[in-house]
Amino acid sequence: MAILRRVKGGLHKMARKKKILAPAKAGKIITPGKTAESKKEVPGTRETMVEQAKFSHPQIKTCPGRDYAQELPFQYERDKIVLQVRDPWWIHAYWELMRQTLERLKDELKDDFYRAKRVLRVYDISQIIFNGSNAHRFFDIEVGEQANNWYIDTAGPGRSWCVDLGLLLADGRFFTIVRSNAVHTPLEGPSWITDEEWMIPDDRFARLYGMGFGLGRSSPVGKAWQEKVRHVLSSGVSSGASAAKRKV
């Protein structure tokens, strides 16, 4: 936490420094008394407003006559739960269960089924290969029988998540009905990792390398030669070549 505070302070300092060099007399348009409000401007609001203006006509009450009266099916007869990420904190799950699956569960669990709660079990599976029982932690959300989707507040940006739809039996046992895909929530701020890695793309490097030997793309041999170098770079054969050299 201490490191993050320092970083945040550093960034703030940078912002302040920039302001000194962009003096107000440059004629920047700032409506007096509204600057405080501008800090509260939610990202993307303005873009949304302008994009909305593209569709700038009022809604007509009746759509022109259609032979279209069909509705999309309520569900597709499968046992499935899908997770999606909404933002660093929230994920969304939608699911459906086949009637047969529920019937089978009723048969298997008998009375326990009716006393059980239908539950979403949300697992934090960051940086592990999840086998069903090795999550760092989990929490349960009780969902009604009629529910088929849910917004989940993970309160954990930058983590990986997986969700089981299951039954929490009265004796505390959890019975997984169906398991979701894994998702990863983005960070809500700059990364803590600062190790830098730099590169030039293979084709660009191939050209520079070639130019160093007078084998630029304009030379008849150059183009073919660069293709060869690019292939070598991207297939990692070069390390094998240098090993051969050492032998000699």
Partner 1 sequence: MVLHGHLPFVRHPEHEDFLEEDWLYEAITETYIPLILVFEKLIAEGIDFRLTMTLSPTLILMLSDSLLQERYLKHINKLIELAHREIERTSWQPAFRHLAVMYRDQFCGARDTFQRYNRNLVGAFRKFQDLGKLEIVTCGATHGYFPLMDACRDSVKAQVKVAVDHYREVFGRSPEGIWLPECGYHPGHDEIFKEAGLHYFFTDSHGVLHGTPRPKYGVFAPVYCRGTQVACFARDLESSKQVWSSIEGYPGDYNYREFYRDIGFDLEYDYIRPYIHPDGIRINTGIKYYRITGDTQHKEPYVPQRAQGKAAEQAGNFMFNRQKQVEYLYNFMRKKPIIVSPYDAELFGHWWYEGPLWLDFLIRKIACDQDTIRLITPSQYLRENPRNQVITPSLSSWGWKGYSEMWLQGSNDWIYRHLHFASERMTELAKSFPQANGNIRRALNQALRELLLAQSSDWGFIMGTGTHNNYAVRRSKEHLLRFTRLYEDIKANSIDEGWLADIEYKDNIFPNIDYSVHQ
Give residues 7-66 in contact with partner 1 (rule: CB under 8 A): 17-18, 21-22, 26-31, 34-35, 37-38, 41-60, 63-64, 66
**SS3 per residue for 119-160:** EEEEEECCCCCCCCCCCCEEEEEECCCCCCEEEEECCCCCCE
**Residue type for position 13:** K
Q: Which is nearer to partner 1, 31 or 133 (CB)?
A: 31
Which pair of structure tokens corresponds to residue 25? 């007399």
Q: Which of 9, 10, 189, 240 binds partner 1 (CB under 8 A)?
A: 189
Give residues 143-162 in contact with partner 1 (rule: CB under 8 A): 149
Q: Which is nearer to partner 1, 44 or 214 (CB)?
A: 44
Kindly state the smallest distance separating residue 172's Cβ from partner 1, in Å. Answer: 31
| Residue among 139, 142, 159 nearest 89 (CA) | 159
Give residues 80-109 in contact with partner 1 (rule: CB under 8 A): 82-88, 90, 92, 94, 96
> According to the binding rule CB under 8 A, does residue 197 interact with partner 1?
yes
Distances (CA, A) of 117 to 45, 89, 206: 40, 25, 62
Q: Which is nearer to partner 1, 108 or 227 (CB)?
A: 227
Q: Which is nearer to partner 1, 114 or 198 (CB)?
A: 198
Q: Within 13 A of 231's CA, how many CA atoms are on the CB side? A: 6
Backbone angles phi, psi at 109, to 5 degrees: -95, -15
> According to the binding rule CB under 8 A, does residue 164 interact with partner 1?
no
